[in-house]
Structure formats: structure tokens, C-alpha cells
Amino acid sequence: MLAPFLLGLAVLVFIPAVVTLVMAFADYDLIRPPRWIGTRNFTDLFGDEAFRAALSNSLWFAAITVPVRLLLALGLALLLHRRAALVGSARTAAVLPTAVPEIAYGLLWLWLLNPVYGPINQLLLVGGQNGLTAFGRTPPQWLTDPNDARTAIILMSLFTIGEIFIVLLAVRVSLPAELYQLAAIEDATGWDVFRRITLPLIAPVLGLLLIRDTIASFQFSFVPALVVTDGGPPPYATTYLSLFIYRNAFEYLRYGYAAAATLVMLLLTVIAVLVQWRLIRPFWARYRL
């Protein structure tokens, strides 16, 4: 009964994984046969300015977006867990950006971020004069300034929190109402309720989402960087590891080099997950009853 699943797993995961692992130590351009070159791909990688930029961009991106995404989703879930007027629409609004196909989402942002007629900069210019914002600053140059471009990619990732939001909402809704009624009878303040009840009870799931989102964060910068900023502004302001790998493999046909970069990305993911696991484990132990 498991056979189709195992077949898929083998063809789509295990075999490509092994091939990638082997190819990381080879030179292969799809035309000539692969050539074994030992660890030269890796030494080349760390001498490659593009790779170093991609590595640093990816780490910064993960360090900023993962916690902010979790906090946003948690805030929304706690805000919208009760049934009230407009809550249904608000929940839909929170989930909708995640449901939009990634490419369409990217193209939409390309328009939103347009420095001249994009609505974001139009809004920022309200109340300002001579092309400056109300605070007398030039509006962000989303597509041409390196830092503004990186901010744009982060901004894009903060609206695709639908999945995390749904999971946290489901967890919050499933917490027994009696616990909160008891807290009300004991005159616990909102902060006490959050700190002593909600947060500890949600913590195991938060930990899980933290790990999941960290893993995913190395990937969900890919489409925005490809569609919206094209890895730039030049040279590599928004080139993330995923885009770096994609370019090397499918544009420059350096399959061995891309495979090596993939292994580095995998290693980073594993390290990040292990560190988080160590931090979270004491929490989880408390619930393993």
C-alpha cells in the first residue's frame, strides 16, 4: 500500500538527493560528462563574492523574517480567535495573500513597489512636497537601492503568513474556554493570561512553526527575488542562496557548483534547526506526559 508513496519518495527525493551529493564534488555542464574534481566546488564557493553575498543575505533574511512572521501570525491569531463582527473577513484577509500563486503575488508587488506610480510610494508621499515624504525624506527606492530592495523582499514575506496564522488560530481556538473563565474568576490581567496561560500552552506549536519557518525561509525568498528584484540591484543585493543556486544550475549550467551550494544551504538549515531544537526541547519535555 505504501509502494506508490515510496516510489515517489525515491524518484523525487532520495535519488535527486544522492545525485546532488555526488555532483557537488564534480564538474558538470549538461554537455560534457561529469568530471570528478574533489572539493574544488566548495573552495570556489567561499572565494565567490556572489556566494558570500547570497549567504549573508539569506541569513539576514531568515533572522529577520522568521521571528517577525511568527509574531505577526500570533498577534493576528490572538486578535481574531473570537467570533465577532468582521472577524471572518479579517481572517480571510490574513490568509488570502498566501493563497495567491507566487508568481502573481510577485508581479503584484512589482506594481505596488513601483517608485513612480506604485501605491506604496504614492501613500508615503501624502503630506510631503517636492517628491519627499511628510518627514522630508526621499521615498524608498525599492527596486534600485540595495537596502530598500532587501526591505521590500522582507516586506513581501510578511504577508504570506496564512499557514502559520491558521495553525495558531486553530491551536488558540482549541484551548479550553474553562481555563480562561477560571483566569477571569481569579482576576488575572490580560498580560497575566497571555504570559501564564496562552503562551505556555501555544509554545510547543510555536516551536514547531519556528523550525518549519526557518527551513522554509531559505526558499521563500526565491520567487520575490527572481520576479521582483531580479537578484539586484547589482551586484547581488537580493541574491539569496536559492536564487544563487538556481542561476548557477539553470542559467550558467554549473550543476556541480550549484549542487555544492545546495549542500551548504542544507547544512545551514540543519544547524539552525538543531540550535532551535536545543532551545525548545526543555519546553516540549514539559508536555510529554
Partner 1 sequence: MTDDSLTDEPGLVLADVHAAHGSVQVLHGVDLSVARDELVVVLGPSGSGKSTLLRVIAGLQPATRGRVRIAGKDVTGWRPGRRNVSMVFQTYALFPHLTVAANIAFGLLVRDTPKQEAQDRARRAAVAAGCDHLLDRLPGQLSGGEQQRVALARALVREPDVFLLDEPLSNLDAELRVETRSELRALHQRVGGTMVHVTHDQTEAMVLGDRIAVLQAGRIEQIGTPDEVWSRPATTFVARFVGSPAMNLVPAPLARSLLAPTAVDGLRSPGGSGDGLGDPGLLVGFRPGAIRIGGTGPAGVVERVEVVGEDAYVHLRISDRSLTARVPAGDRPEVGSSQPMSVRRPDLHVFDGSSGRRLAGP
**CB 195 to partner 1: min, Å:** 10
Cis peptide before 200 (omega within 30 of 0): no
Return d(Cα 182, Cα 245) in angstroms, integer. 54
Toward partner 1, which CB reaches closer, 84 or 289? Answer: 289
Toward partner 1, which CB reaches closer, 4 or 190? Answer: 190
**CB 261 to partner 1: min, Å:** 42
Toward partner 1, which CB reaches closer, 184 or 270? Answer: 184
Toward partner 1, which CB reaches closer, 62 or 210? Answer: 210
**CB 183 to partner 1: min, Å:** 7
Toward partner 1, which CB reaches closer, 68 or 201? Answer: 201
**CB 189 to partner 1: min, Å:** 7
Q: Which residue has the cell 540591484?
A: 233
Toward partner 1, which CB reaches closer, 250 or 287? Answer: 287
**Count of Cβ atoms closer than 10 Å to residue 200 Cβ:** 13
Count CA atoms within 13 Å of residue 279 on its CB side.
12
Interface ranges with partner 1 (CB under 8 A): 176, 178-179, 181-189, 192, 196-197, 200-201, 286-287, 289
**CB 197 to partner 1: min, Å:** 7
Q: How far is CA 9 from the centre of its chain?
A: 24
**CB 71 to partner 1: min, Å:** 21
**Count of Cβ atoms closer than 10 Å to residue 53 Cβ:** 19
